[in-house]
Structure 1
Amino acid sequence: MNVPEVRIFDIMACDVYWDFDGTPLPREQHKFLVSFHPTPGVPTPELVESITARGPDGYEVVFGDQRFTAANTNGHIYDRTLDYYWYMVNLPTGFLPEGEYTIEVLCIDGRVLRKSRTHSATTSRELVEHYKNERERILASYSPSGGEVLDRVPVSGELRCDWATLDGFGGPDAYYIHRLAEGGSAKEFDTQNLTWWDNIFVQRLRGDERAGLNRGGVDVHADLRPETTYSYFVEITDANAQSETNICVFQPHQVFRTPARVASTVG
């Protein structure tokens, strides 16, 4: 069989403001990410020997050759909806210094792939300060939230999630990404098994230059299960292209529950 070629789609080397509830980790973190084009017929991790991120002053981080989990925060993630993989490592050691960062991929066939970006600390710090100033008003705006029980079990397109955006409080333009999964907390939220997410990076690739810009809500295009607890979180970024992103703000998870499906009656 023909072995597909590994190709980098994009990378991230950016700050993370980790505002999840119930975590002992510090708020100021950073992460590296590399996403790949699909490799039909062969899982991308089987074609990758190693991945390394490098930055100023000899900074170096090795990506894990393992499945990414909330416990290890370093490894690969599979998006079954688009049949592609990305690798990500989150590091709880503060924000990144400004400068150029490069991610290098060594493939099992010996090829070496590289992609670089220049990180702006100023852009990151400004967005985080606006978020911290308006945090309480933003969190109070979420709907559904607070563990509320919906009045029906939504099918695709029926569930609407809404929230306030930074520009509404005089803050900067920003981009918003929504992720929904089963479970009632950040600990239970499985990044590997999303019910649905608003992939603004793919939307931009497909021609929507403004994908996610100041987006204060989404319609969830997935059927939900009855009597199930769900949680979602909204990520704020300063760009809708991975290699242009300087900051990701992970906001607290919002929880709701679907009711039992009521059986129809006859007569």
Structure 2
Amino acid sequence: MPQGKVELYDLMACNVYMDFENTGLPKEQHKFLIAFYPTGGDPVHELIDSITARGPNGYVAEVANQPYTISNLNGHIFDRTTNSHWYMINLYSGFMEPGEYVIEVKCKDGSVKTISRVQDNAPSDKLMAAYLPQRERLKASYQPGQCQPLPAGTALTGVEVTCDSLKELSGVDCWTVFRICEASNSKEFDPQNLYWWDNIFLERFSNPEAGKNRNRIRIPVELKAGSAFTYFSELTDGNTMGGTNICIFQPYQTFYT
């Protein structure tokens, strides 16, 4: 019999503005991200049968029990920062209706776990209104930016990525999540094999301001010499999973060491 305990940690059910380029997908989406505690035994995907999202007006979506990829956008991801898995599904049917969304997890031992949150579209609308007029300026402000090599002699530990702050440009607060992967373009970006990411949702327990209004990100791990690295920043309206109403995925950028 599978061994381990299934316990839900948090739920991010929110709007997504997918500002990745040349995907052919609608930019206005929504997603569910269900985070689990470490099971103390077998990985959580071996302990559950199904995950269902339910919402207003008969809304139902099924979260797949499969590895998440940039092709299927539906499944589980192992997070090395917490030694646990979380599940994510991106849905193309536009922004969410406001209201309560419930996740139901059916486990192989017959138990059922649930978690819920309430979507508020007012903070989502506010962040979108701040972002869209500044989109091109923000994209161009990233250094190292698209197709740039690091200057000769740059130390590969503690590399900083700098950018304009949306707060400075618009007056609206936002929080930034940063993800980087060893990849030469967006199609090679592997969410299952991140080189590093800053888990502001965990960091906030020691730093309540984690991720807020940043204009620089220090990558604490050593980058591999002679490699291509692709990254993107995700703007949110908060640094708690359950309190997030929107995620804005800014365009990928690639640089070379």
TM-score category of the 2 structures, normalised to the smaller one: over 0.9
Give the aligned CA root-mean-square deviation in angstroms: 1.5
| Aligned-partner Cα distance in 2 for 1:186–1:222 | 21
| Aligned-partner Cα distance in 2 for 1:19–1:234 | 11
| Aligned-partner Cα distance in 1 for 2:208–2:183 | 33
| Aligned-partner Cα distance in 2 for 1:191–1:141 | 24
Residue identity matched to 1:52: T
Question: 1:103 aligned to 2:122?
Answer: no
Once the two structures are aligned, what percentage of the paired residues are identical? Answer: 45
Is the contact between residue 182 and residue 229 of structure 1 (CA under 8 Å) also seen in structure 2?
Answer: yes
| Aligned-partner Cα distance in 1 for 2:252–2:85 | 24
Question: 1:156 aligned to 2:157?
Answer: yes
Which residue is 1:54 aligned to? 54
Q: How many residues align?
A: 256
TM-score by length of 2: 0.96
Q: Residues 110 and 182 from structure 1, CA distance in 2 versus in 1: closer, same or farther, beyond 3 angstroms?
A: same
Which residue is 2:184 aligned to? 184
Mean alpha-carbon deviation: is it higher for 229-238 or for 210-219? Answer: 210-219
Whichever of the two has the greater Rg, that structure is 1
Is the contact between residue 5 and residue 40 of structure 2 (CA under 8 Å) also seen in structure 1?
Answer: no
Shift of 1:171: 3.2
| Aligned-partner Cα distance in 2 for 1:220–1:167 | 22
Q: Which runs of 5+ in 1 are unaligned?
A: 259-267
Secondary structure of the residue aligned to 2:125 is helix
The correspondence of residues 3-42 of structure 1 with structure 2, limited to 5 A, is 3-42=3-42
Which residue is 2:131 aligned to? 131
Is the contact between residue 10 and residue 36 of structure 2 (CA under 8 Å) also seen in structure 1?
Answer: yes
Mean alpha-carbon deviation: is it higher for 148-157 or for 224-233? Answer: 148-157
Secondary structure of the residue aligned to 2:187 is coil
Is the contact between residue 8 and residue 34 of structure 2 (CA under 8 Å) also seen in structure 1?
Answer: yes
> Residues 56-82 of structure 1, C-alpha deviation per residue, up to 9 Å, x if partnerless?
011000101110001100000011243
TM-score by length of 1: 0.92
Residue identity matched to 1:169: L
Which residue is 2:244 aligned to? 245
Which residue is 1:193 aligned to? 193
Shift of 1:214: 0.6
Secondary structure of the residue aligned to 1:134 is helix
